[in-house]
Structure 1
């Protein structure tokens, strides 16, 4: 390791030759939190422009931002060994409890082994018909020339898919009550995570924390009611909740009621919030790229003709998949990943002091011109065999230059579910319609997931 003094910073060269530079100067106690909280996405882009290893401070906690795919891969694959899951705050824990996303060590391994079977490809295949049926119901309510709020339409659709596939219920009231509470909770979690609440002790009362508690109470009541209904029912049911209730670990023990609650909420967020946001951004991008919209329609006509898509069509809809992947590149629903260095942690061959909070951002890395030609352009062809008549970029893109679902041992368990849902819903609706989104620019707001900053209004046009 070598060190070089500069007029305003110290540049350290890591064992693999990359430079670690000092980030923007922070303020006492808060460090760089005010700048981070003002616009987290722009903040991470500015750090990326400084280098692949940038030191900063999250309040009093020393932090390290990493931007290179190789190093991001190290962080993601070393979680549970030399990096730990950091505490993401009381608001986050209030909603997710100690589910598989939050749990650590042996507890995490046990929960992952119990949850994973319910979202394996064979199980996702059994949910595909529900995904398509819900989308068809929505398509039949739309009409040429109708004005819609895409954000509300996609949220209602994915909420309904979630309550049917996860909870096995089929009423609008169930979807609406859980959905409203989840919207409040995720908004407040985002506000706390990027604001002063991020460094306040858990015992400090704030209006945002109170709103999260009230929203979580609604969610808990709904989950408890549905769990009780399942326990009283007869026979095997095909939904995720029933599979969780039946799951046993190696000792024969089942998940407790509290664990069932935590895992169903986690699966709901993965199955609803992320897919809803992805679909909104996909319609927004398609509306601004007629060429892509035409190519998508051509594939749907060729593969599906006059029929609805099923699970087996997922593999055939390669361009539709590319549209979803490119949407997740430009507007990743999960926009950051963070880990806490433990004893023995290294990145790029250089030790990372224990207690350092390491950050990576899908938003910043996905838009890095080193990995993507014309990184701000919406080009699904970069994921297929041809890109404007040239070979596609898919083979050139480094591993972990695209990581919307994380990676390593803690990769999102619902990845397959989310991808299949987004592709099938898009196929059902785009086969019939295009959506002309109003011309106003929509900006992303980083909360629990990456959300539009306003209603996304559009006119439905029959194809």
Structure 2
């Protein structure tokens, strides 16, 4: 870890000094004043205009920066040690905050939103469905769906990668969550999810974040209509599962049969909430990761060549499966580096309770503490050439040590601590296997226009991602 450091920074608001907290346990932190806000709204206008750039500017001011989310006091933390304190102490000295009516409308009171005893109960019921043993059973479906997509592509075809990856991960989600023989309307769910994501992003970074739940807005009306579509489809599929009676290997069946310590099942409403949560985790996050991976690979020929060399060597003449995952180390590094530069989840927050501390300094109860994967993942203190796409930084050297000394919680695309994303393993295996299937056969040459990330529920491209499919066989390999 880095020790105490001082530096001067320049901005349009003048010169200021920032102090980075020491990494030794119990050392006091220095809280730096953030940019001056406006009456009532605080820093919300600047945050809403460009949340990613806003958090990068705060990171440049210091490791702990005071700002105002509307009229409420808030802290932004950038140092991995403090991020680790926040994430590991959620449910103890930091509380899971109310994430807003838009997120609650979509997710209900699922495991991502629930708190305290209710969260612990739901986590214990959902977790067995996504353990490594279960993920192994889903891997074949992931690869089969990717192979079917690869078979449908032709050399020279122009595609929208965003649309193709969304359709692929929707199909994988439908089959792994609902079962291959229970055809959910993936297209209708996908359209509704797109609307929900847009409205969640708008609510989070706009004036809607300060409005009471009872105030109607056009955006809130849109997300309610989108959620109604999702609810109707989930209810239909759940009903078919209940009527089927047979034992199924999918996630939904495992949720329907799960029992808590009292022997009680999840209620219909809880089944709905957890199913939607799993769908988002299994579809939206992986789809976004794959889009950004293709975008980065298209702009880094050396990385793309190293990736395909590994795929040829490890897979030879067979399609990838779960047993190949551990051997695809460079493919894993490509996914991990993609998640560093374009983390699907770009923001985490908690509320200080009595006894909360950061770096040995007491944090007043009620203070909202924010961290941003986007800002921390691009911090040059932890990453050499931080804006560059270099999967090699994650590979072990001859001494089996990472190529760069990256502190714990300098990379946390799935969160961390007790509330780490339950679907982490599922998402990583899915991204690696899908990338392996498709990149083994094709290069995708993305058109040269810059694609910008849009922060909503997840980090999405701001437009279609158009590309030309180029069969590797056209360069001497079939």
CA contact (8 A) 1:287 1:436 kept: yes
What residue in structure 2 maps to residue 225 of structure 1?
Answer: 236
Q: Deviations over 1:32-61 (max 9, x none)?
A: 000000000000000000000000000111
CA contact (8 A) 2:86 2:94 kept: yes
CA contact (8 A) 2:29 2:361 kept: no
Q: Output the CA distance in 1 between the equivalents of 2:455 and 2:415.
A: 17
List aligned pairs for 1:9-408, cutoff 5 A.
16-169=27-180, 174-386=185-397, 393-394=402-403, 396-408=405-417
CA contact (8 A) 1:383 1:392 kept: no
**Structure 2: which 5+ runs fail to align?**
1-13, 473-478
RMSD over equivalenced CA pairs, Å: 1.8
Q: Output the CA distance in 1 between the equivalents of 2:359 and 2:151.
A: 54
Q: Output the CA distance in 2 between the equivalents of 1:257 and 1:172.
A: 20
CA contact (8 A) 2:184 2:237 kept: no
CA contact (8 A) 2:19 2:63 kept: no
Q: Output the CA distance in 2 between the equivalents of 1:155 and 1:174.
A: 14
CA contact (8 A) 2:18 2:61 kept: no
Change (3 A) 1:405 1:113: same
Q: Output the CA distance in 1 between the equivalents of 2:162 and 2:448.
A: 15
Q: Output the CA distance in 1 between the equivalents of 2:290 and 2:16.
A: 43
CA contact (8 A) 1:9 1:22 kept: no
What residue in structure 2 maps to residue 3 of structure 1?
Answer: none
CA contact (8 A) 1:160 1:172 kept: no
Q: Output the CA distance in 2 between the equivalents of 1:17 and 1:221.
A: 52
- TM-score using structure 2 length: 0.93
The total of aligned residue pairs comes to 455
Q: How far apart are residue 64 of structure 1 and its match?
A: 0.2
Q: Output the CA distance in 2 between the equivalents of 1:130 and 1:265.
A: 20
Q: How far apart are residue 385 of structure 1 and its match?
A: 2.4
CA contact (8 A) 1:82 1:343 kept: yes
Is the counterpart of residue 461 in structure 1 residue 435 in structure 2? Answer: no
Q: How far apart are residue 234 of structure 1 and its match?
A: 2.5
Q: How far apart are residue 193 of structure 1 and its match?
A: 0.4
Corresponding residue SS for 1:57: strand
Change (3 A) 1:158 1:12: closer
CA contact (8 A) 1:9 1:21 kept: no
Change (3 A) 1:340 1:9: farther
Match of 2:418 among 409, 422, 433: 409
Corresponding residue SS for 2:326: coil
Q: How far apart are residue 302 of structure 1 and its match?
A: 0.3
What residue in structure 1 maps to residue 458 of structure 2?
Answer: 449
- Which sits farther off after the overlay, 399-408 or 165-174? 165-174
Corresponding residue SS for 1:359: strand
Corresponding residue SS for 1:315: helix
Q: Output the CA distance in 1 between the equivalents of 2:445 and 2:401.
A: 28
**Structure 1: which 5+ runs fail to align?**
1-6
Show structure 1 runs of 4+ deviating over 2 A.
7-15, 169-173, 389-395
Q: Output the CA distance in 2 between the equivalents of 1:294 and 1:89.
A: 44
- Which sits farther off after the overlay, 451-460 or 165-174? 165-174
Q: Output the CA distance in 1 between the equivalents of 2:464 and 2:401.
A: 34
Q: Deviations over 1:69-109 (max 9, x none)?
A: 00000000000000011111111100000000000000000
Q: Deviations over 1:178-221 (max 9, x none)?
A: 11111110110011000000000001100000000000000000
Q: How far apart are residue 172 of structure 1 and its match?
A: 6.9
Change (3 A) 1:269 1:280: same
Q: Output the CA distance in 1 between the equivalents of 2:393 and 2:213.
A: 45
